[in-house]
Structure 1
């Protein structure tokens, strides 16, 4: 259920990372879906990259973005499954100041409606690091669209209430989270 209040939307600077051993800029449909979603919602694409599924290469790019004054949110697609090469959660977890446990739970709940019990193999995670919100989701284009339309579009929208992540990211002018009774 969407709850919008009267505030003006605050555009965020969002970086997109595709974790894949096979994707290129030409065939990165998942990364492109996230870029399309964020730009259509009025946000700015701060940067976009593709990296092989290697813990230290993932951490290097994400750490650079976390340290940047120009990035407020990071969307990561890929590397969240159970194959031997899938290492996105292991790469990100040590970087988090706080984990956003509800993201993975909610993603799997929404995804269950689309793919049934196969959603149990998703290790979608999220967290905050240096006032940057980071969301990692599966590498399929449909999973990215599910995450964007079902969760991220509202949670990165300063007009969504009673709460969203905009007040918690660096350089945000949005007000604090309002209680449900307000």
Structure 2
């Protein structure tokens, strides 16, 4: 089973939060606020926060800008993961992925099934890696953001989490670029 090795020192990561919505403003962004509060409570650093409309090219451009920023280790987006025509966040993420973390969506679906039953099939949470940066797309509900953070991201973004975690391999995510 997984556990926290208290003999190891916590290593904070720098996280950017992106809310994708045609209707929300920063003061109404409950899902983004859930992520900001949880990452801060865990000891991580909020590196940037933005709200963008459901426009695939704009989302992908923002992801690329954050990937190119050496001050950002992780990007978490919320919103735009559903099935409607305006839900393009997953496609924008996949436009920039070098590698998809396929199990992320699967584990999120399993967690969601426990809370919302078969309605979980309507969510397309995804995770991936590009340019040495982790990218995660979560649904736009505060509950989904809480579930993803508490059940997946909080432990995986904690260097002390055993048997493995995302932080310990962060320095090696872009090693293929350095070999050239």
The TM tier, using the shorter chain, reads over 0.9
Q: Aligned to 1:18, what secondary structure does the other structure show?
A: strand
**In the aligned structure 2, how far is the partner of 1:64 from the partner of 1:171?**
20
1:146 matched to which residue of 2? 147
Deviations 1:41-75 (A, max 9, x none): 00000000000000000011111000000000011
* 8 A contact 2:2–2:163 mirrored in 1: no
Distance 1:9 1:51 in 2: 32
Shift of 1:170: 4.3
Q: For the residues of structure 2 that align with 1:75 and 1:81, how far apart are their CA atoms? A: 16
Query: Could you say what secondary structure the match of 1:61 adopts?
Result: helix
Cα distance change, pair 170–70 in 1 and its aligned pair in 2 (3 A):
farther
Aligned to 1:62: 63
Task: Give the Cα–Cα distance (whole angstroms) in 2 for the partners of residues 49 and 170 of structure 1.
Answer: 26
Residue by residue, what CA displacement relative to the aligned partner does 1:141-161 show, whole Å, maximum 9, x if unpaired?
000000000110000000001
The farther-off stretch of 3-12 and 112-121 is 3-12
Greater helix content: 2
Q: Which runs of 5+ in 1 are unaligned?
A: 173-182
Alpha carbons 1:131, 1:168 under 8 Å: kept: no
Map 1:25-104 to 2 at 5 A. 25-104=26-105
Partner of 2:134, secondary structure, is strand
Q: Distance in 2 between matches of 1:102 and 1:21?
A: 29
2:17 aligned residue: 16
Q: What aligned pairs does 1:97-136 form with structure 2 within 5 A after superposition?
A: 97-136=98-137
Conservation of the 8 A alpha-carbon contact between 2:60 and 2:95: no
Poorly superposed stretches of 4+, deviation over 3 Å: none
Tell me how far apart the structure 1 counterparts of residues 63 and 95 of structure 2 sit (CA, whole Å).
12
Could you state the TM-score of these two structures normalised by the residue count of structure 1? 0.92
User: What is the distance in 1 between the residues matched to 2:26 and 2:95?
Assistant: 28
